[in-house]
Structures are given as C-alpha cells and as structure tokens.
Structure 1
Amino acid sequence: MVLLAVLFFLFMFAGMPIAFGIGIAGFSFFATSQFIPVSIGVQQVAAMSQSFPLLAVPLFVLAGHMMNKTGITERLIGCSNVLVAWMSGGLAQVCILLSTFMGGVSGSAVADAAMEARVLGPSMIKSGYSRGFTCASIAVGSLITATIPPSLGLILYGFVGNVSIGRLFLAGVVPGILMMIAMMFTVWLVARKRGYSAADAVPPTLPRVGRAVWHAKWALLFPVALLFAIRSGVFTPSEVGAFAVVYAVVIGTFVHRDLTWASFNEALSESVQDIGVITLIILLSGMVGYAIVFEQAPQTIAQVMLGLSSQPVVVVFMILVFIFICGLFVEATVMTLLLTPIFVPIITKLGMDPVHFGVLMMSIITLGGMTPPVGVAMYAVCSILDCPVEEYLKESLPFLVAILIVIAVLVLLPGLVLFLPNLLM
C-alpha cells in the first residue's frame, strides 16, 4: 500500500497523465503482493465498467456539450443580465447567477468557468474590474455549477459510495443556492468598496423580468424537469441522462433552431474527449479501490480519527480539512474515486447521513479546482484572461472564505442539506 501511494504521487508530480499514474500505481499493488494474483487487478478494471449507474456520467457530459450548442447558454446570460446587472458589481453578479443556472445544464465546474471566462471575462476587464477579481468571481463561482444538479461529482460519489444519486441531486439544491447568496454578497461588498458600478443602472421591471424568463424558459425548465422525473420514478438517474441528451437535441433543433449539423458533430467530438478521460480514470481506479478495501484503510483511518475526538462533528470537520488539503494536490475525479470508499464507512459509523456528507465532500473536493497548485478551473480561467496566479489567489480569498463559512454552516445544520431529499423522497 505504501508503494502504491509513493508511486502515485511520484507520477503525479512528474507530470504523468492522471489515468496512467493511478493505473500503474494500482497495478504495482497486485504485482508485488504475495497473496493476490495479478489477474484480480485486471478483473477489477473490468468490474468498474459493469455498472448501470455509471452510464449517467457520459450521458450528462454529452448533454452539457449539446446544451452549450443550442443557444441555451446565451439565453441564460440574457436572463441573468436582466435579473442582477443593476446591482453593485453587476457583471460579477451575472457570473455568479449564471453559474447557478448552468448548474442545471452542464454539471461541470471547469466547463462553466472556461465558458464564462471567454464570454463575460473580456467585458468585465474592459468595464474596469481587475483581472484577479474577474478570474476569482468566475472560477470560484463555478463551484455552484458542481453543486446544483445534475452534478458529475455527485454522480461519481453516489456510484462509488453506493448512495442514492436521486437524493444527492435533491440535496445539492439548497447548498447551491446558499453558495450563490454568499458569493453575491461577497461581490457586493467588494464592489461597493472599490466602486465597481452596476452594468445596468435601471432595476428590472416586472415586464422585463417576465420577458427574460420566458426567453430562457426551456433552459430554466430543464433542472426542474430533471428533479421531477427522478422524484416521480419516471426515470432513474442514468435514464435521466439520456433524457437530457434528447431534451437538448429537440430544443436546439426544433425550438431554438440553433443546433446545426456542424455544431452537433462538434459537441460529439468534445464529449468523446471528456468521456474518454473520465472513463479511463474510473476504470483504472478500480485496482486502487480494491487495494484500499483489502488493506482495511477505512478501518485504520477511522480508528485514528475517532481516537483524536469522540465528537462526531469534530471528526467530520477533521475529515473535511484532510480532504481540502488533499484537494490542493490531487484532481477532483481521482479524489472522489479514492476517498469515497474510505470515508463513507467512517461517517456512517458516526451516524451521519452519507447524502449529507456527499454534498459537503464534493463541495470541498471541487473547491480544490479553484486553488493552487493543481486547480484546473483556476488555470483555465487565468490562462484565458491572461491573469497571474498570484493576483488571482489574492482576489479569491474573500470568495473562498465565504464558501468555507457556508460549508461550516451546512455541517452544523444538516437539515439544510437533507430538507428536500427527506421531503420529496
């Protein structure tokens, strides 16, 4: 197990692709074991692919790319402008609200951050916002996208931890809205201090709001339809992914008329690349997951943490701090696949609902994508907008503090997370 961990971090810091690094490290466990044949490792790779819930991942990835080609994003931007552009720091407020709307469309924080950096970033900088503040509001704001359903991270957590994906989707709604409120308040404070003016001096009237919402109605209806379909039992989470693809194609082709054959092929090409990377990581992580269980890592870590404190809340905070530190160095998908089988048994033993913990864990893991040294969303936004990482890091601190406060509140008040799942399921 020690060799596995050493090799994984060695390969990661050497710049090897994550999938191959985790695959070789996992294979080393079986190659050096005196008790387990190598063939078991190969079987674990194949076994990871034999899962019906796993179908939700490629389907939602494809749905997200399709929706970005169907005019839905442009309509959401227009709706966000009408609703919040009149507030202090108007364009930054639009970024935060757009991330909330995009949570019901793409489910990917990195995709949302890159899109907003290209579409809204130049306008923000031209309007006088600093590059660091622009990048921070876009990158950290994209955390909401990974919390509001459908979230790819929650799908992976549910798949690995054997937790209801439908309950996880419902549990992400309230935390996502709380994050939106906290970040919009942070933007308001910074904007008032620096004199960042509103993008639209006129507050929205009811007719303007009505027209904007009606124009974006098909995009706004999608997450509602998704949750209703899961709650009513019409579709499983995997089947909802297929419904999302069909929904995007039908709306883009027959309603918005923005989905052309060329853009359809482009969405397919981009999806294949993303799905290939994610699936390869998932399959090769099967060997590491088996090694974790075989070596009884969850039980060992549980004994250590329970030995430090007998208070469940304190242990949960320690686990989240540990996950946050790991998230600074390890990519989110890998973190989810490696740490879920370790910590779900621990928190279950503490009497904590795994749905509650899943939302907290995925928020902390995704936050690692907005922080150095391996923050994927951070680097994507900073490279697109030509912003030094040092400036981004300084400007992102108020947003990070706001998010951590929200997560602390969610730990102490589990009812906020579990309200919708308990009410509707």
Structure 2
Amino acid sequence: MLIVAATFVVLLLAGMPVAFAIGISGALFFLQHPELPYTIPVQVTVSQTQNFALLAVPLFIIAGNLLNKSGITEALLNLASVLTGRLKGGLAQVTIAMSALMGGVSGSAIADAAMQARILGDGMAKRGLSRGFSAAAIAFSAVLTPMIPPGIGFILYGTIGQVSIGRMFAAGILPAVVLYVALTATVLFMAHIRGYAPERETRPSLGEIALAFRGGIWALLFPVMLLFGLRMGVFTPSEIGAFAVVYAVFIGTLVYRQMRPASFAEAMQGSLADVGAVMFLIALSAIFTYGIVFERVPELISGSILGLTDNLSAVMVIVALLVLVMGLFIDATVLIIMLTPIFLPLIRQLDGDPVHFGLVFILAATIGNFTPPVGAAMYAVCSIMKVSVAHYTREALPFFLTVTAVTIALVFLPDVVLAIPRLIFG
C-alpha cells in the first residue's frame, strides 16, 4: 500500500483530477497482487454505485442548486442583514449569518463561499474592509454550511460507516451554533482592532424583523422538515432527498416565483456536473478502499495509535489533527470516503460514539477547503474577489485558529454534539 499511497500523492501533485488519481493508484494494488482476479476493480466500482442510500447524494445536490435559483438567497441575505447589521464588522457579520441560514439550502461549503463572494465581496470592499479579510470571512463562514442539514458529508459518512444519517443531521445543529458564536466573536475582535463599522446604525424595528423572517421562513423550515420527516419515519434518507427536490421547485415557482425554465435548466445543468464528479469519485474510491481492507490497514493504524494511548478523547484529538493536516492537501469528500473505513472501527473499538466522532471528523476534514495549498473554497473566493492567496492566508489565520479550537473542543464536549440526536431520536 505504500506504493499505492505514494502514487496517489504524486498524481495529485501533478494536477490529475482526484477521481482518476484514486482509481489509478488503487489499480496498482491489483498489479502487485496477480493472484487477485482483474475483474475485481470493475466489480467493486459498479457495486459501489448500487448502494441505495447514496441516492440521497445526487438528489440533495439537485435540490441545493434548485433552491439557489428559487429566489431564496435574496430573502436570506435580507434576514441576515436585519439580524446582524448592527454588530461591528458590518457585512463580515452578515456573511457569517448568511452561511448559517444557507446551510440547509446549499449543503456545499464551496458553493456557499463562491455565491457569497459574488454577492457580498465588492460591497465589503466598498465599505472599507480589507479584501483579504473579507475573503477570509466569506470562506471560513462557509464551514457552517455542512454542519446544518442536509450536509453531503453527513450522508457519505453515514452511508460508508453504517451510521444513522438522521442522527448525523441532528448532531450538526448545536456545533453549528458554537461555530457561529466563535466566528462572530472573531470578527468582532478584528473589527474592534481595525475600526470596522456596523452595517446598520439603527436597530431594526419589530416590523422589519417580522418581514425579514417571513421572507426567509421557507429556508428556515427546510432542515426542520428534514429532521421531522426522518424522525417520524415518513421518509428514508433517500426519499427525503426526493422531497427536497420537490420542495425546491415548489417554493421557486409558487412562493418566490423566480424560477423560470431558463433558471431551472441552468440548475439542472450545474447539478449534472456536480453529481457526475461526486459519484465518479465515490465509484473509483472503491478500488482504493478494497486494497486498504485487504491489507488490513485499519488494524495497522489502530494498533499504532493504541500504542500511544487508549484514551478515547486523546485518540479523537490525534485523528482530528491528522485529518486536519491531510485536509491541507486532499479534498474533504475524498477524506471522508477514504478515511471513514480506517478510523471509525478504531473509535468503535474504544466504545466511542460514531455520531460524535463523525461530527468532529467531518468538521476537521472540511477546514481544508479554506486553507492553502489546495483549498477549493479558498481558490473560488480569491478568484472571484481578486485577492492573492498570500494576502488571504495572512488574514485567514485568526479564523483558522478559531475553527480548529472549536473542533478540538468538541472532542471533549460530546453532549453538545449528541444532545439533539438524543432528544429527537432517543
């Protein structure tokens, strides 16, 4: 497996698409083991796509793209501005609130960051905020997106690790609140040092607040309806993805009335590309995963970590830090697919809760989207806002430290993660 892993890293550094890097390096394992039939790579690739639970992934991707074309974004931006406009930091506070509200809509940190960069980026610069600071605030605020139902990372982790997806959805809610408070405090601190003014000078009236909530209520209800449907047994995770698509079309055509045939076609075209990329990655990852299981890599890694400590919290911290470092170089989706079969058995061996671990694991993997050298959300925001990576990196350091600290803190606060899943699912 060392040759396979080294080949994977070399192919990534050479700029090869991740799915092909995983598939080609995984295929090398079978060349090293001629006793294995060469039909296995084809069989495992095809069988990986036959998992019924994975049907939720393309459905939620389609729903997210349709919701972004429904007109709900403008309503949520207005709500975020009304709720946070008087805090120091102005639009930097608005972008954090916007990400919290958009979590149940887009489900993708990269899509959320890119969208907000287009909507708020120029406005933040015109109000005197440093472009690097603005880009960092927009990018790192998107860490909230996958924490709020229906995060795609939760679906992948739950499917691969045989963990309740409903519980994973519920587990993200309180940590998202903690992250929101921490990011807001970081912006307040930076704004105080730099003298950044609030977006609004006056308090919003009750009428303004009520009107803003009325406009954004359909987005706020979405994650609630998902959890209610799962808890009451109305939907399976796959079926609720289909409900999300119908819901997106309903509010786009009948509530906000902004979805036209052209915007519907654009959303479906974007979904086709997104679904193809994700599912191709999932399919080819099966080749790589087969070698990992065959060589008993999970047992080897577990033995190495247990040789250092058998304390559950210490092991989770070690895993979180390892994932955090790997996330600097590898996409979060890839990490979830590749590392769940390796680390989850170790956590179960130590009687850890797979939902608690999954939340910490996914959050640690997500952080890499916002950091150099390969952070996809970072590059999207920097490209849209015309900010150099060096400038972005300097300004992003406080946000990186904040999110990392919250990730490690959640290891020692399992009740924060598990309170809502226990309340809803028992």
TM-score of Structure 1 vs Structure 2, range by shorter chain = over 0.9
Q: Which runs of 4+ in 1 moved over 4 A?
A: none
Aligned residue identity for 2:405 = I
| Counterpart Cα distance in 1 of 2:122 and 2:359 | 33
| Counterpart Cα distance in 1 of 2:222 and 2:320 | 32
| Counterpart Cα distance in 2 of 1:247 and 1:73 | 15
| Consecutive unaligned residues in structure 2, runs of 5 or more | none
| Counterpart Cα distance in 2 of 1:376 and 1:218 | 29
| Consecutive unaligned residues in structure 1, runs of 5 or more | none
What TM-score results when the alignment is normalised by the length of structure 1? 0.99
In structure 1, the partner of 2:171 is 171
Q: Does the 8 A contact of 2:310 with 2:350 survive in 1?
A: no
Tell me, what secondary structure is at the counterpart of 2:270? Answer: helix
In structure 1, the partner of 2:391 is 391
Deviation at 1:32, TM superposition (A): 2.3
> Deviations along 1:277-314, whole A, 9 cap, x unmatched?
11100000001111111110110001000101232211
Deviation at 1:102, TM superposition (A): 0.8
**Residues 7-406 of structure 1 mapped to structure 2, 5 A cutoff:** 7-406=7-406
> Deviations along 1:304-363, whole A, 9 cap, x unmatched?
001012322111111111111111111111111110000000011111111111111110
Deviation at 1:390, TM superposition (A): 1.1
User: Structure 1 residues 396-405 or 75-84, which shifts more?
Assistant: 396-405
Deviation at 1:140, TM superposition (A): 0.6
Aligned residue identity for 1:191 = A
Tell me, what secondary structure is at the counterpart of 1:203? Answer: coil
Aligned residue identity for 2:223 = P
Q: Does the 8 A contact of 2:154 with 2:169 survive in 1?
A: yes
RMSD over aligned Cα atoms:
0.9
| Counterpart Cα distance in 1 of 2:76 and 2:122 | 18
Identity %: 49
What TM-score results when the alignment is normalised by the length of structure 2? 0.98
| Counterpart Cα distance in 2 of 1:178 and 1:94 | 17
Aligned residue identity for 1:16 = M
| Counterpart Cα distance in 1 of 2:205 and 2:171 | 32
> Deviations along 1:78-136, whole A, 9 cap, x unmatched?
11011101110121111001000111111100000000000011100110000111001
Instruction: Give the number of aligned pairs.
Output: 425
| Counterpart Cα distance in 2 of 1:372 and 1:74 | 30
| Counterpart Cα distance in 1 of 2:322 and 2:219 | 37
| Counterpart Cα distance in 1 of 2:310 and 2:277 | 41
Q: Does the 8 A contact of 2:71 with 2:252 survive in 1?
A: yes
Aligned residue identity for 1:131 = R
Deviation at 1:190, TM superposition (A): 0.7
Aligned residue identity for 2:380 = A
| Counterpart Cα distance in 1 of 2:204 and 2:411 | 36
Tell me, what secondary structure is at the counterpart of 1:263? Answer: helix
Tell me, what secondary structure is at the counterpart of 1:251? Answer: helix
